[in-house]
């Protein structure tokens, strides 16, 4: 018996294509899901809740019934022919009263209800996914321009997971339906081994409910998606405020460090100037000291020469060799003059030695101060280099934070844009007018035809 599809009226079709609001579309989806689940659970409650069937006993009773009718099970292709035969044949009271016979009717009615229900709920839930959830519940990740935005990436990952779950369960369900169609013949095995297709029926019902629940979770995520985007914007704004405050503090610190560097530069200039002056003074003192020392050496040599001359004059005067009085007087005059010259040399040497002592003291003081200035200058240079590195570090950190702020602004703009697109009524019209890819349509259409074919056999 062919499965007739209920065609929606033009008004219903128009309403389906153009949902007035997201909430209305959510309600449509949830209503479809709930309707499918109610039908499946009603079927499951009727046929899988409590009744235990002895399928082997059913097979024996079926053979008794065939014998009473004078026919064979091979004369019935499926349960449909058997049920049609029941309308024109009578059943012996002895057989009719057996539980096995009632279970045969139970199996056939179960198959009838299953084959009526499954195409409808399968088509309804898959169309709901394809024409509503797949089409409408999107992350609009293409609007993010490949930016790493957590809620968009997470929702897109969830969408892929949901879609894969639905497609995987749909494939298993389609396989079960095809296998069920193969189990319908021969009719005798369909009755005696009814536990096989009964289990498959139950598994198929579970798959449909699982698909429905997956779509329901998907819709719940989609309904919460704009709020998640908004919360991410709020978080970004708060984070940005903290970063702006960090920049303000860093700029304040940079100003303080810059002022410290200016002071160090001024100090460095003074130190350099003082160090240069002291080095010149040191060289001047060293030259003066060297001149004084050389003078003292010459005076020592002159004193030594003068002492030799004086000793020679003294020896000449003391000599008993007869000489003229005038000669002796000249010797004494020369001796007196030499002693006077020697005293002057000693006096000049004393002056030079005092000058040397003074110069040595001054040179030590200047040398010590020159060394101290050199140490201070080197220390100042190292401090300025350290401050420069500190400024470079601050500039790098400020630049890094500025880049983060730019990234946050870009992400926040994308988040607002995606949220605006998600909530826009124009998006509803655009999405629902979007054409489905031919490959997808062909794939779904072909498997539908095959599954419907098996239900019509």
Residues (pLDDT < 50) of the chain are 1-16, 435-457
Tokens 């259409």 belong to residue: 445
| 13-51 pLDDT, tens digit each | 444 456 678 888 899 999 999 999 999 999 988 888 766
* pLDDT at residue 100, rounded to an integer: 83
- DSSP assigned state of 74: G
What distances in angstroms separate CA 315 from CA 232, 307, 308, 320, 323, one per listed residue? 119, 12, 11, 10, 14
Query: Is the peptide bond preceding residue 97 cis, with omega within 30 degrees of 0?
Result: no
Q: What per-residue confidence (pLDDT) applies to 69?
A: 79
For residue 184, the model assigns a pLDDT of 77
Residues 179, 443: Cα–Cα separation, whole Å: 19
Q: What is the DSSP string of 115-178?
A: HHHHHHHHHHHHHHIIIIIHHH----GGGGTT---HHHHHHHHHHHHHHHHHHHHHHHHHHHHH
Q: Give the pLDDT score at 78.
A: 73
Distance separating alpha carbons of residues 366 and 371, to the nearest angstrom = 9
Domain boundaries defined on the chain:
10-238+425-456
Kindly give, in sequence order, each residue whose CB lies less than 8 Å from that of residue 20, ignoring residues fewer than 6 positions away: 425
Give the SS3 label for residue 221. Answer: helix
CA–CA distance, 247 with 298 (Å, rounded to integer): 74
- 293's CB contacts (< 8 A; 6+ apart) are 356
Contacts of 178 (CB under 8 A, 6+ apart): 450, 451, 454
Q: How many CB atoms lie within 10 A of CB 329?
A: 10
Q: Are 103 and 53 in contact (CB under 8 A)?
A: yes
154 to 134, 222, 229: CA distances (angstroms)? 17, 12, 11
Could you give the 3-state DSSP secondary structure of residue 8? coil
Q: Name the DSSP class of 75.
A: G
Please tell me the predicted confidence (pLDDT) of residue 431: 65
What pLDDT score does 377 carry?
Answer: 93
What gap in Å lies between CA 367 and CA 150, rounded to an integer? Answer: 68
Going through 343-437 in order, the beta strands assigned E by DSSP cover: none
Whose tokens are 């880049």? That residue is 403
Length of the chain: 457
């Amino acid at each position: 018996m062919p499965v007739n599809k209920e065609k929606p009226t033009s008004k219903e079709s128009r309403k389906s294509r153009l949902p007035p609001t997201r909430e209305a579309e959510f309600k449509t989806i949830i209503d479809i899901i709930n309707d499918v689940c109610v039908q499946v659970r009603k079927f499951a409650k009727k046929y899988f809740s409590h009744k235990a069937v002895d399928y082997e006993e059913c097979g024996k009773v079926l053979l008794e019934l065939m014998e009473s009718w004078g026919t064979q099970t091979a004369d019935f292709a499926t349960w449909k022919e058997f049920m049609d035969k029941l309308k024109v044949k009578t059943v012996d009271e002895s057989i009719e009263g057996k539980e096995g016979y009632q279970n045969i009717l139970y199996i056939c009615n179960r198959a009838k209800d299953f084959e009526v229900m499954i195409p409808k709920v399968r088509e309804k839930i898959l169309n709901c996914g394809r024409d509503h959830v797949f089409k409408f519940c999107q992350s609009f990740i293409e609007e993010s321009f490949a930016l790493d935005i957590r809620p968009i990436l997470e929702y897109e990952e969830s969408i892929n997971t949901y879609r894969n779950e639905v497609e995987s369960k749909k494939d298993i369900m389609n396989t079960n339906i095809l296998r069920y169609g193969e189990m319908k013949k021969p009719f005798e095995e369909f009755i005696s081994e009814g536990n096989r297709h009964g289990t498959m029926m139950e598994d198929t019902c579970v798959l449909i409910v699982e698909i429905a629940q997956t779509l329901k979770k998907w819709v719940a995520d989609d309904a919460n998606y704009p709020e998640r985007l908004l919360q991410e914007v709020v978080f970004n704004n708060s984070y940005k405020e903290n970063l702006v405050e960090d920049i303000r503090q860093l700029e304040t610190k940079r100003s303080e460090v810059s002022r410290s560097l200016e002071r160090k530069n001024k100090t460095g200039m003074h130190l350099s100037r003082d160090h240069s002056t002291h080095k010149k003074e040191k060289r001047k003192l060293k030259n003066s000291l060297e001149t004084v020392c050389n003078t003292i050496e010459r005076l020592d040599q002159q004193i030594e020469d003068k002492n030799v001359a004086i000793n020679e004059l003294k020896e000449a005067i003391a000599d008993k060799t007869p000489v003229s009085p005038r000669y002796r007087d000249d010797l004494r005059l020369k001796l007196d003059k030499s002693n006077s010259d020697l005293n002057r040399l000693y006096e000049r040497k004393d002056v030079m030695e005092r000058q040397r002592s003074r110069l040595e003291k001054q040179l030590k003081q200047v040398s010590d101060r020159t060394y101290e200035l050199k140490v201070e200058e080197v220390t100042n240079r190292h401090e300025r280099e350290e401050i420069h590195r500190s400024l470079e570090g601050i500039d790098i950190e400020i630049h890094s934070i500025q880049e983060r702020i730019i990234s946050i602004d870009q992400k926040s703009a994308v988040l607002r844009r995606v949220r605006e697109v998600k909530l826009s009524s124009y998006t509803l019209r655009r999405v629902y007018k979007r054409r489905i890819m031919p490959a997808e349509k062909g794939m779904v259409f072909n498997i539908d035809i095959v599954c419907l074919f098996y239900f019509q056999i």
